[in-house]
Structure 1
């Protein structure tokens, strides 16, 4: 996959209507190559200084103005690189947009703590700014679906619960809706994590990433994909106390029930495989999250939730081996047809 730097800050930017943030005036060629463009979203500064997010779009034919759009948000220590996913949505007649959140991927700056926020509501700013861009380009009546992977699925679920009536549906790819194991693990660990977050929020917790998940993905180690190691490092970003505390607050909210009113599709692998030793079976299971916990929590997102288990699926189902990947897209298509999207 070709790589490029984030486009330089244009001058002057255009003002957005969302929370005082500003939007850059122009799109620039993106690292993913032909058919992909990126646009910087300038956000309010935080305690580390300048903050930006990056919106990527896939509009192969700029003369068309689709009436439907998808906004995708990535997971932890990740960025958007799943070009086939964008092409799938384009084939469904939808414009595709993806956010690299602040301090991730295209948006990460040298002075920043990678991936760090201490409240998941912080992301409301870039999600809102991205939706402003969608509405400006496609019109206010465009039907929008949100799609999130892993932590991005948690972020979007919480956002949608706070912003009813804005989008038409939610698609979740292995969303992180609960700690591995059960809510008991969260209840036992939350007080200690909360105390640590209060006094040393950016304290790095022990990094337990052995690199196995990266091994299942990278073409150099038997996977099917090429990623930018600057934006998706191995081992992953250090997990910090303030961030983990924010995630656990989000998990607690999901456990209480979110009441999302639009249709939700939650897809996950049919099995979890967590092991301290490498095995080739890791290429056909979720080796990051507990899929049973995901399935239990998914039904608490709202009254209309479809859950699908993908045999042989990896944590990011779009990166799975071809049979599981094809099954993922088939189930997504079936759901879209059922709700009048395809």
Structure 2
């Protein structure tokens, strides 16, 4: 497997990103893990001149077989008064190097190193007397990963926004209880054992412009049928879901965005263009209550698995929902205090949410 990038890592520091003007990337050297040398990659969005600054930093983490390319999402967070950063985790996207097994880890807590490295760079040039509030946003496995991170680091995040987070297995708790012991044995004996491919490529057919969808992205970093999962990685996911099922008791408020329906079908069906084809959204909605004390679940009609890749009208609703939640929850100082922090306010909160959505041509529509 090749990464689509150079074998040798560039000198540290910010440099132009593959997304073009307004985006920069920073390679984050990490301690080697059991599978060898690794890096993560932090991407930042340069905000528009008229974007407010309310002292928020958003850190976005992608899902399985994925990387950050959703520029419209970065634009949205800019209008909400946030600096936007996205993290390509080790062995994903910009961080994937030749010879590596894509996405391979055996414990989701390993990503604490990736997040710590990202936050250290995000903190550069931030005055000590004006701390910024951290909003975590994760999609699919990234949502699970960040939820567990927040539980291990209480008080660090002011809020979480979870976009179709993989909080429960598609066969739900009973199936997970049956599968996990068998998989854990295989993971101990041969953690890098690659399991059969189960992705039939239907999701790619819905979203990729290579197959008639709306979105352009690198099919090397986000392949048509996904990367093959390993025993060690899947065991780590199940262990994380089991930990969540016992309750995380997060103090920070969380917004969970989900489609109203799933389409987990063995053959192509047009309903897949208006549903989540990856997760059992009803099972995830039930499990979301175990995240913590203040959980808002927003079911978005006709949303796809990645809600912000849904058709225009659907994602406008998702952005509007998130904007209302941000204005009513995240920008309030008592939300930060509930998460164990009381940062100094950065100017007045907007009287109502500002929602500017940039389409695939990356021009602003007002």
Q: What is the TM-score normalised by the length of structure 2?
A: 0.86
Which residue in the other structure is 1:84 paired with? Answer: 72
Which residue in the other structure is 1:294 paired with? Answer: 284
- Mean alpha-carbon deviation: is it higher for 123-132 or for 59-68? 59-68
Which residue in the other structure is 2:35 paired with? Answer: 48
Q: For 1:91-131, what per-residue CA distance to the aligned partner results, in whole angstroms no more than 9, with x for missing partners? A: 11211000000000000001211000000000000101111
Would the aligned equivalents of 1:53 and 1:99 in 2 still touch at CA under 8 Å?
A: yes
What is the CA-CA distance between 1:49 and the residue it aligns to? 2.5
Cα distance between partner residues in 2 of 1:40 and 1:65: 28
Which residue in the other structure is 1:19 paired with? Answer: none
- Mean alpha-carbon deviation: is it higher for 43-52 or for 259-268? 43-52
Which residue in the other structure is 1:199 paired with? Answer: 189
Q: Give aligned pairs, total.
A: 327
Which residue in the other structure is 1:173 paired with? Answer: 163
Q: Answer 1 or 2: higher relative contact order, Cα 8 Å, separation at least 6.
A: 2
Structure 1 residues 68 and 111: CA distance shift in structure 2, 3 A: same
- TM superposition outliers: structure 1 runs of 4+ over 6 Å: 62-65
Which residue in the other structure is 1:321 paired with? Answer: 311
Would the aligned equivalents of 2:137 and 2:162 in 1 still touch at CA under 8 Å?
A: yes
Which residue in the other structure is 2:18 paired with? Answer: 31
- Mean alpha-carbon deviation: is it higher for 281-290 or for 131-140? 131-140
SS of match in other structure, 2:298? strand
Cα distance between partner residues in 2 of 1:154 and 1:47: 22
The RMSD of aligned alpha carbons is 1.9
SS of match in other structure, 2:124? helix
Cα distance between partner residues in 2 of 1:115 and 1:186: 21
Cα distance between partner residues in 2 of 1:62 and 1:80: 23
How do 1:127-166 residues align onto structure 2 when only pairs under 5 Å count?
A: 127-140=115-128, 141-166=131-156
Q: For 1:70-93, what per-residue CA distance to the aligned partner results, in whole angstroms no more than 9, with x for missing partners? A: 000000000000000000001112
Structure 1 residues 329 and 231: CA distance shift in structure 2, 3 A: same
Q: For 1:123-144, what per-residue CA distance to the aligned partner results, in whole angstroms no more than 9, with x for missing partners? A: 0001011111112233451111
Cα distance between partner residues in 2 of 1:204 and 1:8: 27
Which residue in the other structure is 2:251 paired with? Answer: 261
Which residue in the other structure is 1:9 paired with? Answer: 9
**Structure 2 residue ranges without an equivalent (≥5):** 332-352, 354-366
Would the aligned equivalents of 2:201 and 2:224 in 1 still touch at CA under 8 Å?
A: yes
- Which one of the candidate residues 217, 236, 239 is aligned to 1:227? 217
Q: For 1:221-279, what per-residue CA distance to the aligned partner results, in whole angstroms no more than 9, with x for missing partners? A: 22110110111012211111010000000000110000110110001000001111111
**Structure 1 residue ranges without an equivalent (≥5):** 12-23
Q: What is the TM-score normalised by the length of structure 1?
A: 0.92
Would the aligned equivalents of 1:74 and 1:150 in 2 still touch at CA under 8 Å?
A: yes
Which residue in the other structure is 1:57 paired with? Answer: 44
Which residue in the other structure is 1:15 paired with? Answer: none
SS of match in other structure, 2:123? helix
Cα distance between partner residues in 1 of 2:176 and 2:58: 32
Would the aligned equivalents of 2:194 and 2:228 in 1 still touch at CA under 8 Å?
A: yes
Would the aligned equivalents of 2:52 and 2:78 in 1 still touch at CA under 8 Å?
A: no
Does residue 71 (structure 1) correspond to residue 59 (structure 2)? The answer is yes
- Mean alpha-carbon deviation: is it higher for 305-314 or for 211-220? 211-220
